[in-house]
Amino acid sequence: DIQMTQSPSTLSASVGDTVTITCRASQTVSNFLAWYQQKPGKAPRVLIYRSSFLDTGVPSRFSGRGSGTEFTLTISSLQPEDFATYYCQQYNGYYFTFGGGTKVEMK
Amino acid sequence: QITLKESGPTLVRPTETLTLTCTFSGFSLTTNGVGVAWIRQPPRKAPELLALIYWNDDKRFSPSLKTRLTITKDTSKNEVVLTMTNMDPVDTATYFCARRDKVSALTTGAFDSWGQGALITVSS
Q: Per-residue confidence of chain B (124 residues) as pLDDT tens digits?
A: 999 999 999 999 999 999 999 999 999 999 999 999 999 999 999 999 999 999 999 999 999 999 999 999 999 999 999 999 999 999 999 999 999 998 887 788 899 999 999 999 999 9
As a whole number, the mean pLDDT across chain A is: 97
* Contact criterion met (CB < 8 Å) for A46 and B116: no
**Nearest chain B Cα distance for residue A77, angstroms:** 25
Q: Is A16 left (phi over 0), alpha (psi -120 to 50) or beta?
A: left
Enumerate the residues of chain B whose CB falls inside 8 A of the CB of residue A98.
Answer: 46-49
Beta carbons of B7 and B118 less than 8 angstroms apart? yes
Enumerate the residues of chain A whose CB falls inside 8 A of the CB of residue B61.
Answer: 95
* Contact criterion met (CB < 8 Å) for B96 and A43: yes
* Contact criterion met (CB < 8 Å) for B112 and A100: no
Enumerate the residues of chain A whose CB falls inside 8 A of the CB of residue B46.
Answer: 87, 98-101
Facing residues of B40 across strands?
B48, B95
Q: Which residues contact B57 (CB under 8 A, 6 or more apart)?
A: B73
The reported pLDDT for the residue numbered B107 is 81
Please tell me whether residue B91 adopts helix, strand or coil conformation.
helix
**Nearest chain A Cα distance for residue B101, angstroms:** 11
User: Going along chain B, which residue ranges are E strands?
Assistant: 3-7, 11-12, 18-25, 35-41, 48-54, 59-61, 69-74, 79-84, 93-100, 103-104, 107-108, 111-114, 118-122
* Contact criterion met (CB < 8 Å) for B111 and A89: yes
Question: Hey, CA dihedral for A4, A96, A62, A82, is it positive or negative?
Answer: negative
**Closest residue by Cα to residue B117 from A67, A39, A14, A81:** A39
Name residue A24's amino acid: R
Q: What count of CB pairs under 8 Å joins A to B?
A: 59
Query: What confidence category does residue A46 fall into, taking pLDDT thresholds of 50, 70 and 90?
Result: very high
Q: Which one-letter DSSP state was computed for residue A57?
A: T
Enumerate the residues of chain B whose CB falls inside 8 A of the CB of residue A97.
Answer: 49
Which residue in chain B has the smallest CA separation from A100?
B46
